[in-house]
Structure 1
Amino acid sequence: MKTKHLFSALLLTSCSLTLFTSCNGDSVDTVKAIESNYDNQDKTIALVGEFDAPSFTFSSGKSKTMEMNFVVKSHAFSSEKFTVINVILPVGTEKNSVLFDIPADQKNYTLKNFYVFDDNGEKINLDSHTTFKMKGTVRYSELEKPENEREKDNFNYKITDVSFVKN
């Protein structure tokens, strides 16, 4: 009987630890902040989540960068997602880059067509849904305009100088 209770307690503790270590509230708070104010202009932010393919991509073969999406959740079991758009990655096979590999006769793309090379140079297919720790600098396009031409509610941004590792 004691063994049964001990096993139950260990299982409950293990599940609780997994849930709490999977919490990602800081990333969600950061995403909400960058989408609602300019406080993060030229600041480096850190997020934990998954890269996702952009909703549209056009590659002429001359593009040196690609705008990727990065998805964060409040915790591992959450269905609520927050998508960070315009995460600018260099195209190629160097560290912290993205490679878009699609046959010429293929019309549609999926995550299977995207690979990233993390800060360690490891090649990872995005279809594996790997979680990454990403850092990058936030820049708001509206703040590049003269002050009298700015829209105070336009929080369009790009995240540049991106580095990431598997979490």
Structure 2
Amino acid sequence: MKTKHLISTSLLVSSAIALFTSCNGSSVDTVKAIESNYDNQNKTITLTGEFDAPSFTFSSGKSKTMAMNFVVKSHAFSSEKFTAFSVILPVGTEKNNVLFEIPADQKNYTLKNFYVFDDKGEKINLDSHTTFKMKGTVHYSEMEKPENEREKDNFSYKITDVRFVKD
């Protein structure tokens, strides 16, 4: 009887350890770093999380790209979220693209109006809250200016050349 209890407890502890060691702390650390220093300029970063709708979008249909948000958490049960803004995705139905579909008479949009096409070409509605592993290159706007004109605390960035796959 003690052996069964010990085995059950060991399995439970092992499962908990596996769950928490698969945490996403490195994605949180990466988002914090890109928002606080220029160390990631022109570097490829990897994040694990969910795409989120941008806070503003154009509905003209003429834009070839859209700046999406990408939300990461330290672990699955965390309520604390960190957002990578300006994840630039091409608009369309190709791999690693985003599609925004909203009826002409609808004024507000939700996640149901957004789809992404992953690295395999699968169309995924953002309302499904699918977790993705995303890679992209960080570019800071201040780094485009001459060094003597840069603001030391403006860490506005864009993440381009984005590739992602369901995690």
Structures share a fold, TM > 0.5?
Answer: yes
**Shift of the alpha carbon at 1:77?**
1.1
Q: Which residue of 2 aligns with 1:136?
A: 136
Structure 1 residues 43-65: Cα deviation after superposition (integer angstroms, max 9, x where no partner): 11111111000111112111000
| SS of residue paired to 1:26 | helix
- Where in structure 2 are there 5+ consecutive unaligned residues? none
Aligned structure 1 segments of 4 or more residues deviating by more than 4 angstroms: none
The amino acid of 2:151's aligned partner reads E
| Identity fraction in percent | 80
**Shift of the alpha carbon at 1:17?**
1.2
| SS of residue paired to 1:14 | helix
Q: Which residue of 2 aligns with 1:28?
A: 28
The amino acid of 2:82's aligned partner reads F
Structure 1 residues 1-57: Cα deviation after superposition (integer angstroms, max 9, x where no partner): 343443343233223212222x11111111111111111111111111110001111
Q: Which residue of 2 aligns with 1:116?
A: 116
RMSD of the TM alignment (CA)? 1.2
Distance 2:160 2:41 in 1: 11
Distance 1:61 1:10 in 2: 53
- Where in structure 1 are there 5+ consecutive unaligned residues? none
TM-score (norm 1): 0.95
Distance 1:5 1:41 in 2: 51
| SS of residue paired to 1:16 | helix
Distance 2:20 2:39 in 1: 30
